[in-house]
Structure 1
Amino acid sequence: MELLETGGRARTVKCCSGSGPALPWDRFSAWLECVCVVTFDLELGQAIELVYPHDMRLTEKEKTSICYLSFPDSYSGCLGDTQFSFRIRQTVGHKLSMNGDEEKYNRDAPVVLQRDRAHYYGFVYFRQVKDSTVKRGYFQKSLVLISRLPFVNLFHSLLQLVAPEYFEKLEPCLEADADIPAMYLSISILCNSNGSVRIPSRKDKHGTSPLKQSNQENLLPAPMVIPTVNELDLFGCFQSILIHIQMLWELMLLGEPVIVMATSPKISSDTVLALTSCIAPLRYCCDYRPYFTIHDTEFKEYTTRTQAPPNVILGVTNPFFIKTFQHWPHIIRIGEVRMSGDLPKQIKVKKLMKLRTLDTKPGIYTSYKTFLHKDKTLIKRLLKGIQRKRSAEVQSVIVRLHLLELTQSFIIPLERYVASLMPLQRTITAWKNPPQIRPFIKEEFMKTLEYAGPQLTSVQKGDWIGLYRRFLKSPNFDGWFRMRYQEMCKKLEILHLEVLCEADLLRWVREKSEVEVVDLVLKLREKLIKARVHQLPVRDDLLEKLELYLETVISSLPDDLQVVLHRH
């Protein structure tokens, strides 16, 4: 694996098959927390056979979750090789803080690609084949990558290269020496396999091509190109529910509780991840479990009937959940895509009461009424694309761009209003604390929709006002606004620091008492430390200028005060 930064620096991750010196794992941990091998033990059931690195400290709760989530449910009947994903909570007690490189990555990355502080993602390659040498009659084993990064395409592509080799040789094939603050990743792994993928930056324009191959990248002649680290085949995931895309987008936007019932963990996990990506570039701020089983540690929490269902999307395969989740407001039951002529058969919206049988047919079981009308033009375009044999990649791009434009039209009025809450730059002075950000007043925002609403950028018709009112009560709004508020606070810090850097501090301190001067010194030091630690985007020359001012101010004080201030 080779990491290439935009500045041209290269770092390498080497993979081996039990030969050569082991390279340190600690730098590769920026990509992966660990690699697990899960097997079936006749006495213990699913059990972790190996963990790399060996000193990785997983709690017993985390190990149990990984074991159960790394095998398809017995009802799935998955023979051969299967790939799917899961997501688990990090056990309380582990550190949730991030180091400098991790913080920098999260600042530069789009919100949907940021490192998760509180959850682990699991990427599974499961093999189940007949084997007469095994007492049970089957070889059953999973190779699992555990990461905090939601790079579903990248890690599943890696597994496709590594897992078959591992299952054949059953020996370590992954050692690493890598670093993550890179913008380009090239994979050179096993034999002559290699490839390239681009990790987007927050500065990228949404909807642009995720990968542009550079002639300067020193790749082998026939690279495997991974066009995106995280985007799934939306068209493939939604083939049987294309006519309900509008409803699904609204349910995701509002953070509604949803159950996805599927016939395999692959369909389950792909569908859940595709749903959460519907509202990109907004982050889906509720919980979601691409694959969920009755052994999950949160099973009781999510299945209790003593309170309303939590804001979470659960992907399940066990028929037991049909009865368990009858009280949930939205249940999507899907299976393998069936064709009606040359078009995929579309599942229907049904009443929840019809879910009460074990032999439930595919359908969306809900009483939800959409706020916006269906985009019939989009549906016709997609169905016509199927008839004309348009590639799945192009179909997925059409779906993704439609959802992106819909989300952007929805969020632009909110962004515009939030921007108006920032104090004017001319009100920021060196000798006072920065002015406060005005509070978000919901009714004030709603009034702005009359003249600056989504109708300016979207042709979609319907009850936009009602949708906004519901959204403002949702966890997704809370998560979005908290993030924007933190960004605005940081912007105020930067503007105030820049004003201070340009101010004539020496002239100001001449007329002030020693107490006031010391107070100024302490505040300036705090600001400088914060700017360095949080790597605020302030020019280095301005910070150096302020540090020189600070030293000059301190030197103007009596000797005893200078000694005290230099000690601190």
Structure 2
Amino acid sequence: MRRANLTLEDLTDDDSEVDLGSIRTASAFDTGRSRSSLSLSFDLPPSSPAISLKSAFGSPSSPDLIRVLRPSALSRSQTLPRVPQTEIKPRRGSSGIEGLDVDDDVLAKIRRWILGVAIVDFDIDSGPVVNGIFPPLFLLPEESENIAFLSFPDSLQFDQGSQNHSFRIREHQLSISSEKRPAPIDGYIYGFSHFSQRRDPTSKRGYEQRSLVFLTHHPYPALFSSLSSIFGPLFSAHGLPMLETACHNIATWSDPTPGATVELGFLGSVLQVELPHCTDEQQLTECDPKSHILASSSPFFPPPVLLFEASLSHLWSIWECVVLCEPILIFGTSPSQTSQAIWWLRDLLRPIPTAGDIRPYFTIHDRDHSALVNKLPPKSGLLLGVTNPFFERSCLHWPHILSLGRRIPPNTATKNTSTVAPGPSPGWKTKVHKRYISKDHVLLKQLESACRGIEQERMSASWALRRHFYSRSNELLIPLTRYLNTLIPTPSEVAGHQRNSRSGPLRLKPFNTSAFFASLKVHGSTLPFRSTSKRKYFYERWLKTPSFGLWLAQQEQIVQGVLKQSLDTTS
């Protein structure tokens, strides 16, 4: 049996160092094939079809489960029987988590999905402190401190209440067993926090502030935000039994297989979850996000279109800046706002890979603060979500600032200055960017109307916005995939390679920029550029981005794999 251990002092023996200047690319699954991959004359594995939803169902083992629609041919995991609803109050300064045990086989199953659930409390002397993690997880003191500060908002958002947000921290390279800490996937740990604040007369501050944080290696914001929103209120009401039950529920889940649609039982609910084939896949199934979760998408509540209300007419410029790996400072009134917005922008980029660092929520206490925020030009592709007005002053030299929320009418801002949030006023501010592509004015009117409408209209507009930029990301790649198809070895070249046993592996011919632009001039692009000169300049810029380099490497890997398979079949 493994026993949780709250002591972090014994973790300081490791002298591992991290190069803060290096930025690794997030890619949980690098072998999957995105929808925009090359159209080859070989048989590639087809992408999974859209799941059809059928009639509602009940759970034979847990009749109390919430009834939701069930897709056909799903993997099924049931929730375990509920533990007695006994409220356990943690003693002051401790979470009580050290009394929980977990078997090694259960631990291994839990770790397929999460690293652990952290309980973070506010200490009057030390600030936010990790009071325990279950299952027990090896963390360096600096990692624990990073998680603690990022799990709390920078400033109070309400008198009493709760909110969910997410963050991403760089993971240290450690030489320890996988039982203490699973091996990294993309070099980052993702945190999904449920922060709550309620009045407590026994506290010196008059409030109890606590965050419950799912720590994971999987960049699945929609999934883990849903888990956090279910778990947080139940833990607040019933204490540690909910934590133990939640982890045992997760242990019953099937493996997180790329491309699978699974049914996950969790604390009396059943979640239908669609996992992407790879990190850069577009999850296009249009569904009710409450009953069918697209794991890698941004959370859909509140409707994302509201985040960009003050910048609706600039969304095409914002998309271009994200594609061109331009650094953007994203300012919001809460971590919930910034994390949802950054995951949304990352989602709109698919199937183009992200080559820069993304931080859904970032504070001055982050260990990477001096590396990411300094007097030097910001790093390429950096998306930084902040709420502290300090960043407005320290990032004056950044080229782009996106401030989330509704535009404040000038007369309102002057008359009610006490109600205006600190920081830049909502809207899009850029020093250098000039738009290349045309806006969709029909969609823009729909978005503007939806922001004044009801919830259903806002959700519908959010889906329309998502489809629109998914389409534009695909259209951007069409001229490139067309040209790359000319670089694939011909059947005669393949046959010649088979006869020459000394030749190396078959691969794409080298990418030639001049040849690509000649092809672009002849065939054009379906992406509606404002002029042919702007089209040429846009592609010239994109071919110089690290994102293009990653995309090209992925296509070469796909082609080389298919060619090898073809040779193996014919030999």
Instruction: Give the structure 1 partner of residue 550 of structure 2.
Output: 479
The letter of the residue matching 1:85 is S
Shift of 1:226: 3.2
Scaled by the length of structure 2, the TM-score of the pair is 0.72
Cα distance per residue 1:395-450 (max 9 Å; x no partner): 11110111011111111111122232221244231652433421111121111111
Cα distance per residue 1:202-246 (max 9 Å; x no partner): 69996743559xxxxxxxxxx961342232333233222211110
Task: Report the CA distance shift for 1:427/1:224 in structure 2 as closer, same or farther (over 3 A).
Answer: same
Instruction: Give the structure 1 partner of residue 50 of structure 2.
Output: none
Shift of 1:81: 0.2
Task: Report the CA distance shift for 1:448/1:291 in structure 2 as closer, same or farther (over 3 A).
Answer: same
Correspondence 1:234-273 to 2 at 5 A:
234-273=304-343
Q: Secondary structure at the match of 1:27?
A: helix
1-side partners of 2:280 and 2:546: how far apart?
26
Matched-pair contact (CA < 8 Å) for 1:122–1:147: yes
Q: Secondary structure at the match of 1:175?
A: helix
Instruction: Give the structure 1 partner of residue 509 of structure 2.
Output: 438
> Which of 342, 361, 373 is the aligned partner of 1:291?
361
Query: Which blocks of at least 5 consecutive residues in structure 1 are unaligned?
Result: 103-114, 213-222, 346-356, 501-568
Instruction: Give the structure 1 partner of residue 40 of structure 2.
Output: none
Query: Which blocks of at least 5 consecutive residues in structure 2 are unaligned?
Result: 1-61, 86-99, 413-420
Task: Report the CA distance shift for 1:16/1:64 in structure 2 as closer, same or farther (over 3 A).
Answer: farther
> Which of 242, 260, 265 is the aligned partner of 1:188?
265
> Which of 209, 216, 220 is the aligned partner of 1:151?
220
Q: Secondary structure at the match of 1:126?
A: strand
The letter of the residue matching 2:165 is F
Identity percentage over the alignment?
27
Q: Which has the higher helix share?
A: 1
2-side partners of 1:15 and 1:300: how far apart?
48
Is residue 31 from structure 1 mapped to residue 113 from structure 2 by the alignment? yes
Matched-pair contact (CA < 8 Å) for 1:259–1:332: yes
Shift of 1:122: 0.8
Matched-pair contact (CA < 8 Å) for 1:277–1:284: no
Scaled by the length of structure 1, the TM-score of the pair is 0.72
Shift of 1:77: 5.6
Shift of 1:201: 4.1
Q: Secondary structure at the match of 1:237?
A: helix
Q: Secondary structure at the match of 1:71?
A: coil
Cα distance per residue 1:93-112 (max 9 Å; x no partner): 36999xxxx9xxxxxxxxxx
Matched-pair contact (CA < 8 Å) for 2:488–2:509: yes
Cα distance per residue 1:455-510 (max 9 Å; x no partner): xx34453422111111111121112112222222222322222232xxxxxxxxxx
Instruction: Give the structure 2 partner of residue 198 of structure 1.
Output: 274
Instruction: Give the structure 2 partner of residue 361 of structure 1.
Output: 425
1-side partners of 2:529 and 2:467: how far apart?
14
The letter of the residue matching 1:127 is S
Instruction: Give the structure 2 partner of residue 407 of structure 1.
Output: 473
Shift of 1:135: 2.5
Matched-pair contact (CA < 8 Å) for 1:199–1:228: yes
Instruction: Give the structure 1 partner of residue 39 of structure 2.
Output: none
Shift of 1:8: 5.7
Instruction: Give the structure 2 partner of residue 451 of structure 1.
Output: 522
Instruction: Give the structure 1 partner of residue 192 of structure 2.
Output: 123
1-side partners of 2:101 and 2:386: how far apart?
42
Aligned residues: 454
1-side partners of 2:256 and 2:376: how far apart?
46
Q: Secondary structure at the match of 2:383?
A: strand
Asked which structure has the greater RCO (Cα within 8 Å, sep 6+), the reply is 2
Instruction: Give the structure 2 partner of residue 548 of structure 1.
Output: none
Instruction: Give the structure 1 partner of residue 6 of structure 2.
Output: none
2-side partners of 1:358 and 1:143: how far apart?
27
Instruction: Give the structure 1 partner of residue 127 of structure 2.
Output: 45
Q: Secondary structure at the match of 2:518?
A: helix
Q: Secondary structure at the match of 1:399?
A: helix
Instruction: Give the structure 2 partner of residue 175 of structure 1.
Output: 247
Correspondence 1:79-90 to 2 at 5 A:
79-90=160-171
1-side partners of 2:101 and 2:475: how far apart?
54
Instruction: Give the structure 1 partner of residue 208 of structure 2.
Output: 139
Matched-pair contact (CA < 8 Å) for 1:375–1:460: no
1-side partners of 2:189 and 2:158: how far apart?
26
**Bigger mean CA offset, 44-53 vs 485-494:** 485-494
**Bigger mean CA offset, 478-487 vs 245-254:** 478-487
Matched-pair contact (CA < 8 Å) for 1:76–1:317: no
